[in-house]
Amino acid sequence: MEKILIIGGGPAACTAALYCARADMAPLCMEGEFTSEMLPGGQLMTTTEVENFPGYPEGVSGPDMMADLKKQAQRFGARFEYKSATSVAFSDAPLKVTAKDEVFEAQAVIIATGATAKYLGLESEQQFLNKGVSACATCDGALPRFRNQTVVVVGGGDSAMEESLFLTNFAAHVHVVHRRDQFRASKIMGDRVINHDKITVEWNSVVDEILGNDEDGVTGVRLRDTKTDETSELACAGYFSAIGHKPNTDLFVDLLDMDEAGYLITKPDSTYTNVPGVFACGDVQDKTYRQAITAAGSGCMAALDATRWLEGQA
């Protein structure tokens, strides 16, 4: 029987593991498996340079930062296993988490399964990932590759608006490509984008292909007009997918409270879910900030909530 089992391997999970380990809980962290879509360590494993995590004045690569966070938690007795939860049972104590055919029992569970950025699904997106393709302008927008260059943002929601406005700080020009003739984003954000002199909106357009080569990475996109089907090429050095995120909560449907987009709902100012002993932290319950540092902060909160809750059960 585990005292605390953590599902996830990103900054929220590792920070929760660090705090639980320092509270002598010897937590077990199921950090995920190596698959073609995801690596243990979460979204940062596909981020080249992290410049906004406090404590790394020169910046750090995403994988190096995750290795540091994991090592720090292991130093105090946290255990990590390359396993993915495949089902959970939270109806009675002890809580149960299954990874394929192995069942783990735990007194408390911290869910830090994160979210997955959505991509259009083009092969060229994968080909040029980190070579001009990104799903996080906040993470990557300031990289030298994009400075004073033309970049493209795909999407018409608040994320696309926020990302394109942020990119105007670095890029020479930003093209927002949206498949309809109206944004889904709030009017205020949409208006800011429409009225910005460094942004052009390509209405009724989709990206059909990302163009580039191995040496330079992204060099352009092929656009298709959704009304006329005509195609055109737009030269650019960057392509940012901003068509939303999907929280990784399929396992918890009908078990835990979630909002209409599938994000876990935690009680205000805490990481408590609706099931006693189950806590949630990081991007799986945060659709607003979605930063490594906010995920780490909420991982700390989950560890403190879980350890205090366990003390209360004794």
Binding to ligand NAP by residue 159, rule CB under 6 A?
Answer: yes
Catalytically annotated residue among 14, 29, 136, 281:
136
CB contact set of 78 (below 8 Å; sequence gap of 6+): 17, 18, 20, 21, 26, 27, 29
Retrieve residue 160's tokens: 């696309």
Which H helix or E strand runs over 21? helix 11-22
Around 233, how many Cα atoms within 13 Å sit in the side-chain half-sphere? 8
Beta carbon of residue 156, minimum distance to ligand NAP (angstroms, whole number): 3
Residue nearest to ligand NAP (CB): 157
- Supply the DSSP symbol for 265: P
Binding to ligand NAP by residue 120, rule CB under 6 A?
Answer: yes
The Cα–Cα gap between 296 and 114 comes to: 12
Indicate the pairing of strand 217-225 with strand 205-213.
Answer: antiparallel
Beta carbon of residue 270, minimum distance to ligand NAP (angstroms, whole number): 21
The Cα–Cα gap between 236 and 92 comes to: 55
| Residue 24 falls in the annotated catalytic set | no
Which residue in the set 157, 212, 247, 277 belongs to the binding site for ligand NAP (CB under 6 A)?
157
Binding to ligand NAP by residue 141, rule CB under 6 A?
Answer: no
Place of tokens 């960057």: 238
Which H helix or E strand runs over 64? helix 62-75
Binding to ligand NAP by residue 266, rule CB under 6 A?
Answer: no
Q: Quick one: which segment of 22-30, 88-96, 155-163, 268-276 binds ligand NAP (CB under 6 A)? A: 155-163
Binding to ligand NAP by residue 162, rule CB under 6 A?
Answer: yes
| Residue 139 falls in the annotated catalytic set | yes
Amino acid at 117: A
Around 115, how many Cα atoms within 13 Å sit in the side-chain half-sphere? 27
Complex with ligand NAP: residue 157 or 238, whichever CB lies closer: 157
Which residue in the set 9, 41, 156, 212 belongs to the binding site for ligand NAP (CB under 6 A)?
156
Beta carbon of residue 179, minimum distance to ligand NAP (angstroms, whole number): 4
Catalytically annotated residue among 139, 158, 281, 286:
139
Task: Using CB under 6 A, list all residues that contact ligand NAP.
Answer: 120, 154-160, 162, 179-180, 184, 206, 243-245, 287
